[in-house]
């Protein structure tokens, strides 16, 4: 090979990824060079791109020069016969001169059936050569479906040499069992075991106890092949109520196999200090600190101010609250070899009487939870109101929140007035009155479902969260001194009460009686006679558990023998809105008065009857009662109708485009007529429309021909 030819070959390189499936003697991609290959084999092995390359002489080769680090080399090989002592080699090189073997094939390693192979290339490789190093007899080696991929990243996370997370293991990394408010750190190593660069796009914390963990140092955004980076996680449990603290770290990256690498974390919170006998107190008081493993304690501090220790045991330390201490947590040392911190703050009292500055609700019913803000509150407090006679009524449900906030529930019997805090340091009263909400009137104070009610009272205007009437929620419209509502569906019949629930969880009530309610309130029931029959319409204002209506009729009201014409299902079952119904009686009695009524039937089987209405059928034309059958039909149709006199009817059959396929006039007698009509066999199966007309009155039918 001349110097100039070598220069030309190395000047042209393939950009990765690169792939080829034929032809092989010519038309190769840039950077692909063949030497001595025989005529292409007409068969392809592994793709549909073209023929396969033929290595038929010792020294035949295919070389691929490329521009950067590669990932996988993929190719398919087969041999026309065994290689025996022949050798076919796949080689790689960094400089294009010195090659090392990737795969060597000899003996019976290649057969007449094509096999797919894949090899990892070294990061420094820039040249790949397929070489028939030593031909075996007349054996031809065929090569096809050659590709070189870009290098791939591969993520792995370790801590102290152990792999955690990902597809390797779901076992969580444990931070052990530190004391609450003690921080434990762990440094994790992200390793890229692949050859391509690993891109880390984000690292996030989630899970039920994610707030107990922090990522205090971030990994690098990019990790080179076979490189690594680190990140640090801190675990600081803040309570031991639920000891086990679990969280999840998700590392988003460009590893195709694990684009979201999941690392589970766990830790167990320990609280050697389980309780402060008193959660608050004055400087100079002795305070007991209870817990476990306290026998070696030598130092106690209140929010950082060291205290005098009175006594020490495994389960209790007694110390004196030091002068100058402020509200904060209590710490002891050593406990379990570390500083232990109290689960709650110890509140230092100021030696001053309490002061109430405000409360959160200006009005509310009995049971309202009222929060008072102010100063100098202690846990030794009481909250009371006055009753109508000026007597103190203490709240039996109170809560100390902080020196500036306490909470209590308005007790039964309390009336509008001041709210008082009785503390060991003194008495305080609210600067303004609290209005105890009460309903003073309901107009009316009883009625059936749907009855409008106007409610008035004190401290309820604009202060109502919800209302029930005899146990059922009711909609309300606020007014200037109360609200309006109506008795809701489902309200329990009989004596009960209107209950108005105020903001803050309180309530006030007023007696109310729900009267017996008919299942259906019928506001309209009418009948109209026409040439088509008798049209019945009715309308309901309310329905309660209504199942259906029966339309009944008779011509002999004295005998009262009503027969059922139809059953009409309820449209709503239960409703308080107007609902319309209708029914057409197409066969009322001729020349006589017909009496109609409705039978309303409940879901539970109970029933009620409507009033009876009467109508006389006039000029009724029976053509509208024509029947046409069967449906579907094949060869014949039957028309059945009553006629009051001898006459002609018009019969037509049309297709869906409106084209009339049959049209004829048929003689009918003054009686019930049954007419059979043959249908042309050439009429195709499908949907058809039949019209029967008598004296200008039509009936229309949709039928299907099979």
Number of neighbouring beta carbons within 10 Å of residue 56: 19
Contacts of 672 (CB under 8 A, 6+ apart): 640, 641, 642
Q: What is d(CA 106, CA 100) in angstroms, rounded to the nearest whole number?
A: 17
- End-to-end Cα distance, the chain: 85
Report yes or no: 198 and 223 within 8 Å, Cβ to Cβ. Answer: yes
Q: What is the DSSP letter of 102?
A: E
User: Considering only CA atoms, which of 538, 701, 544, 528 is closest in space to residue 628?
Assistant: 701
Contacts of 690 (CB under 8 A, 6+ apart): 628, 637, 651, 652, 653, 700, 701, 702, 703
Contacts of 113 (CB under 8 A, 6+ apart): 78
The CA angle 206-209-212, to the nearest 5 degrees, is 100
User: Considering only CA atoms, which of 662, 426, 418, 618 is closest in space to residue 527?
Assistant: 618
List domains and CATH numbers for the chain.
3-148 (2.60.120.200), 155-268 (2.60.40.10), 273-348 (2.60.40.10), 355-436 (2.60.40.10), 438-514 (2.60.40.10), 520-616 (2.60.40.10), 623-705 (2.60.40.1930)
Q: What is d(CA 55, CA 36) in angstroms, rounded to the nearest whole number?
A: 8
User: Considering only CA atoms, which of 10, 11, 19, 112 is closest in space to residue 72?
Assistant: 19
Q: How far is CA 76 from CA 82, 113, 141, in A?
A: 16, 10, 11
State the DSSP string of 359-384: ES-SEE-BT-EEEEEEE---SSEEEE
Residue 56 φ/ψ, nearest 5 degrees? -120, 5
Q: How far is CA 558 from CA 420, 527, 600, 613, 623, in A?
A: 78, 20, 22, 14, 32
Report yes or no: 431 and 383 within 8 Å, Cβ to Cβ. Answer: no
Average pLDDT per consecutive 10 residues, the chain (706 residues; last block may be shorter): 39 87 91 94 77 94 91 91 89 94 91 90 92 93 92 90 83 92 94 88 95 96 92 94 93 90 94 83 90 89 95 93 92 79 87 93 94 92 96 94 94 96 92 96 87 93 92 93 90 91 91 76 82 87 85 81 90 81 87 84 84 66 64 89 78 83 85 85 85 76 83
- Three-state DSSP at 135 gives coil
Our CA dihedral for 154, 159, 161, 164, rounded to 10 degrees, sits at -60
Query: Burial of 637 by CB count in 10 Å (0-12 exposed, 13-18 middle, 19+ buried)?
Result: buried
Q: What is d(CA 527, CA 535) in angstroms, rounded to the nearest whole number?
A: 6
pTM, two decimals, is: 0.43
Q: What is the DSSP letter of 108?
A: T
Q: Give me the pLDDT at residue 518, please.
A: 57
The tokens of 400 are what? 């100390």
Number of neighbouring beta carbons within 10 Å of residue 55: 27
Strand pairing of 563-569 and 546-554? antiparallel
The answer for 548, left when phi > 0, alpha when psi is -120 to 50, beta otherwise, is beta
Report yes or no: 318 and 311 within 8 Å, Cβ to Cβ. Answer: yes
User: Considering only CA atoms, which of 549, 557, 555, 614 is closest in space to residue 582?
Assistant: 549
Q: What is d(CA 295, CA 316) in angstroms, rounded to the nearest whole number?
A: 8
Q: How far is CA 49 from CA 78, 268, 602, in A?
A: 17, 60, 77
- Three-state DSSP at 4 gives helix
Q: What is d(CA 142, CA 127) in angstroms, rounded to the nearest whole number?
A: 20
Q: Give me the pLDDT at residue 168, please.
A: 65
The tokens of 296 are what? 């070696």
Q: Give me the pLDDT at residue 516, please.
A: 65
Q: What is d(CA 345, CA 333) in angstroms, rounded to the nearest whole number?
A: 17
Report yes or no: 118 and 36 within 8 Å, Cβ to Cβ. Answer: no
The full 3-state SS of 35-63, as one line of letters, equals ECCEEEECCCCCCCCCCEEEECCCCCEEE
Q: What is the DSSP letter of 114?
A: -
């Amino acid at each position: 090979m001349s110097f100039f030819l070598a220069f030309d070959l190395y000047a042209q390189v393939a950009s990765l990824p690169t792939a080829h499936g034929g032809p092989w003697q010519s038309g190769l991609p840039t950077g692909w060079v063949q030497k001595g290959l025989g005529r292409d084999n007409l068969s392809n092995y592994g793709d549909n791109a073209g023929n396969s390359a033929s290595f038929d002489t010792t020294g035949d080769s295919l070389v691929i020069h490329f521009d950067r680090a590669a990932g996988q080399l993929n190719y398919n090989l087969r041999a026309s016969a065994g290689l025996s002592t022949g050798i076919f080699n796949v080689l790689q090189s960094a400089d294009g001169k010195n090659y090392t073997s990737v795969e060597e094939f000899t003996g019976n390693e290649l057969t007449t059936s094509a096999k797919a192979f894949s090899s990892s290339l070294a990061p420094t490789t820039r040249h790949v050569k397929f070489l028939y190093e030593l031909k075996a007899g007349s054996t031809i080696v065929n090569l096809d479906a050659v590709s070189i991929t870009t290098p791939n990243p591969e993520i792995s996370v370790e801590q102290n040499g152990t792999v955690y997370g990902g597809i390797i293991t779901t076992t969580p990394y444990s931070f052990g069992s530190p004391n609450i408010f003690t921080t434990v750190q762990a440094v994790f190593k992200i390793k890229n075991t692949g050859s391509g660069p690993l891109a880390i796009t984000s690292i996030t914390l989630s899970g039920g106890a994610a707030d107990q963990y922090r990522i205090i140092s971030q990994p690098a955004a990019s990790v080179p092949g076979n490189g690594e980076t680190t990140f640090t996680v801190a675990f600081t449990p803040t309570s031991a109520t639920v000891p086990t603290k679990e969280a999840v770290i998700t590392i988003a990256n460009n590893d195709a196999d694990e684009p979201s690498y999941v690392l589970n974390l766990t830790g167990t919170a320990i609280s050697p200090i389980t309780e402060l006998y008193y959660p608050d107190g004055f400087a100079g008081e002795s305070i007991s600190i209870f817990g476990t493993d306290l026998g070696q304690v030598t130092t106690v501090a209140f929010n950082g101010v060291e205290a005098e220790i009175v006594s020490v045991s495994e389960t209790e330390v007694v110390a004196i609250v030091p002068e100058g201490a402020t509200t904060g947590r209590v710490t002891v040392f050593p406990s379990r070899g570390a500083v232990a911190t109290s689960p709650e703050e110890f509140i230092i009292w100021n030696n001053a009487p309490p002061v109430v500055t405000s409360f959160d609700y200006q009005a509310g019913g009995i049971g309202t939870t009222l929060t008072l803000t102010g100063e100098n509150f202690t846990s030794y407090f009481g909250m009371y109101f006055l009753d109508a006679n000026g007597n103190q009524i203490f709240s039996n449900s109170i809560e100390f929140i902080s020196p500036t906030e306490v909470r209590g529930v308005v007790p039964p019997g309390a009336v509008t007035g001041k709210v008082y805090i009785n503390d060991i340091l003194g008495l305080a009263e609210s600067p303004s009155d609290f209005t105890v909400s009460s309903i003073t009137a309901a107009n009316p104070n009883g009625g059936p479902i749907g009855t409008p009610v106007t409610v008035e009272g004190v401290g309820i205007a604009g202060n109502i969260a919800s209302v029930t009437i005899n146990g059922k929620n009711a909609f309300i419209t606020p007014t200037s001194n109360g609200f309006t509502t109506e008795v809701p569906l489902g309200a329990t019949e009989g004596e009960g009460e209107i209950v108005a629930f105020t903001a803050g969880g309180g309530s006030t009530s007023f007696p109310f009686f729900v009267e017996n309610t008919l299942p259906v309130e019928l506001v309209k029931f009418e009948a109209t006679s026409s040439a088509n029959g008798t049209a019945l319409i009715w309308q309901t204002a309310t329905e309660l558990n209504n199942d259906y209506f029966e339309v009944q009729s008779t011509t002999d009201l004295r005998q009262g023998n009503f027969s059922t014409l139809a059953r009409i299902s309820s449209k709503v079952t239960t409703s308080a809105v107007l609902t319309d119904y209708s029914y057409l009686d197409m066969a009322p009695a001729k020349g006589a008065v017909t009496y109609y009524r409705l039978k309303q039937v409940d879901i539970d089987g109970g029933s009620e009857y409507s009033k009876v209405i009467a109508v006389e059928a006039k000029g009724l034309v029976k053509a509208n009662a024509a029947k046409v059958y069967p449906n579907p039909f094949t060869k014949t149709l039957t028309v059945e109708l009553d006629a009051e006199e001898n006459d002609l009817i018009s019969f037509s059959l049309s297709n869906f485009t409106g084209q009339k396929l049959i049209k004829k006039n048929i003689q009918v007698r003054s009686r019930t007529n049954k007419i059979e009509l043959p249908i042309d066999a050439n009429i195709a199966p499908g949907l058809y429309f039949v019209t029967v007309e008598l004296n200008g009155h039509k009936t229309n039918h949709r039928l299907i021909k099979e």
